[in-house]
Structure 1
């Protein structure tokens, strides 16, 4: 018979991201953040490839990133509203961790599985931050998918991309619960 961990199960059943725009200082110090990153790095990494890495974005980096997002939005001829939204997470951010997917050549591990692993790291970091008592939110947005932003803002190579930006800070207000999926409508049971 398995040994349950009721506290962990309760956390997973009730966890809730905190909107990034509601997060403020203080943010985790370096030692705390290293613990959270170490926790996130326990994610299954498909053949020990470690198809991801972290870039910690402190408050001082946010104005530069916001400016690059705005410049890239203008270069892409995006609507003003899109540009404003793209730069807002950096204008409002105090600390974020860019989880970088690193595609590694492998005859055994398909690229898609490496992408899954990078996404799992994002969720693991989000949950680690929430479990440690911080507010946290996993964001992306058009800058995260724009190769020009990735290169100019973070110096990413062609085999790298942003899997997610995990904003971490002190929550200022708890969000209300939101509707969750009806498991009965999205689950199929195959017995034979």
Structure 2
């Protein structure tokens, strides 16, 4: 059985100089990110969510919120606003039902099982609102050559960039090499302290 090792080595010493020269999110955009969540934002997020998905620990699916929105929408907005102001989400947003889904290969190997967290719909709604806001400013801080998840950028542009790089290198007679890296279980191994520090370095508020 192979279990991934978690490395927690991020520190002020390691990060010294690492963040110098990073772009900053514009002040106007930063203010928009910190604005109160609106009822329209929540409703738009709700309408974009697919039906038929497994609910979280409270057992309330997306369909319940869509049906009852006219009755409970404003109350949910008040709860989420108070939670963001107070710095702590409701208990239902801090709990998840964990289950395992099989992948390909020998199921006696832990790596061939994918853990899935079933989250409550209200948490998904808030996350979707915040993710939508972040998506609008990603282009300010993410390098132009990184295209994934940045609006108005195409992954195919990276293919063209590699093609042009190889053509120019060949024309100039340069010796070049390419490295393709895919980190195994990257989301499981990411250092959260590094994420917070990086967001702060980009100019996002705590």
More strand by share: 1
Q: TM-score, normalised by structure 2?
A: 0.23
More helix by share: 2
Considering only CA atoms, is the larger Rg found in Structure 1 or Structure 2? Answer: 2
